[in-house]
Amino acid sequence: MMQLPGQTNFYKGKVRDVYTINDKYIVMLVSDRISAFDVVLPRPIPYKGQVLNQIAAQFLDATKDIVPNWMINVPLPNVTIGYKCETYPIEMVVRGNLTGHAWRTYKSGKRELCGVPLPEGMKENDFFEKPIITPTTKAHEGHDEDISREEIIATGLIPEKEYEQLEKYTLALFERGREIAKERGLILVDTKYEFGHIDGKIYLIDEIHTPDSSRYFYIEGFDERQRKGEQQKQLSKEFVREWLMENGFQGQEGQQIPEMTEEVIGRVSERYIELFEMVTGKTFHKHDMNYAEQQAKLEEVLKQLP
């Protein structure tokens, strides 16, 4: 943990260290820690923090015409400085395909998710006729829980007009994300957005369109794989979950996290870097800087904030 000038709070999340400065700004350091099934795994993934932070920064910049966002600048590859917002207590999950949690729900026989009806006759990874929003509550500890739009409004979690605006922003952001992904030969399958507000104005916060918050498929071969009933080739954190499940871990009590060998860690790091290069169209440059160097750079930048 660093001590930064004007620091008024510190929060260590699953994968991020978040510093509040003068109760007005946030310094978000994206670590190489990795979580799955709401558990932080015992070994970090090299360069994962840089990948996530830089992808998020690029997409925040590419969507600021849709909704204002919290980002002010990115002084280091794994650090973003932005505005401190009052956060809404839900995550806006949006899905273009029947995949992951949605597919597991569907396969169990249920035909509704977060109050959204699911049509009969769908196969895993099929496209929905139009994207669906399946919100979850935000849990600081434990599992996020599915919640419907009706429950959000009825319980007063978010006022109806504000929630309707969040839905509009969510669908517009997802559409933009899909357009950019398509240019890169990818399908943005599902993702989540988080929002906050300052003085009544809504801001997009946190990361967007990264492999920790999103799932991507390759366009090439997608239709053929669907016809044959084969698994889709994807770039996302789902492969980490699948590896854990194959080795008997789903985050349940009594289960032991499987050994993360150097080979497994290297493979995961390579997948994150591959996604960075696929999504951004840029070459990834590894950047090594210790905590003391990071702190010195951040102190210099923070002095320039108003």
pLDDT tens per residue, range 71-119 = 999 999 999 999 999 999 999 999 999 999 999 999 999 999 999 999 9
What's the confidence (pLDDT) of residue 229? 95
Q: Which residues pair with 168 in a beta bridge?
A: none
Q: Is the pLDDT at 240 greater than 60, yes or no? A: yes
Tokens of 116: 């959204």
Q: If we measure between CA atoms, which residue out of 54, 68, 85, 81 comes closest to residue 303?
A: 81
> 306 Cβ partners below 8 Å, 6+ apart?
none
Banded pLDDT at 162 (limits 50, 70, 90): very high
What's the confidence (pLDDT) of residue 211? 82
Look at residue 76 and give its three-state secondary structure.
Answer: strand
User: Residues 245-290: pLDDT tens digits?
Assistant: 999 999 898 999 999 999 999 998 998 898 899 899 999 999 988 8
Taking only Cα atoms into account, the Rg of the chain, rounded to an integer number of angstroms, comes to 19
Is 0.85 topped by the overall pTM?
Answer: yes
Residue keyed to tokens 């310094």: 27
Q: Is the pLDDT at 179 greater than 70, yes or no? A: yes
Q: Which homologous superfamily does the CATH classification assign to the domain defined by 88-236?
A: ATP-grasp fold, B domain (3.30.470.20)
Task: Kindly provide the b/e burial profile for residues 266-289, where b requires at least 16 CB atoms within 10 angstroms of the residue's own CB.
Answer: eebbebbbebbeebbeeebeeeee
**Residue 300 phi, psi (nearest 5):** -65, -45
AA letter at 246: E
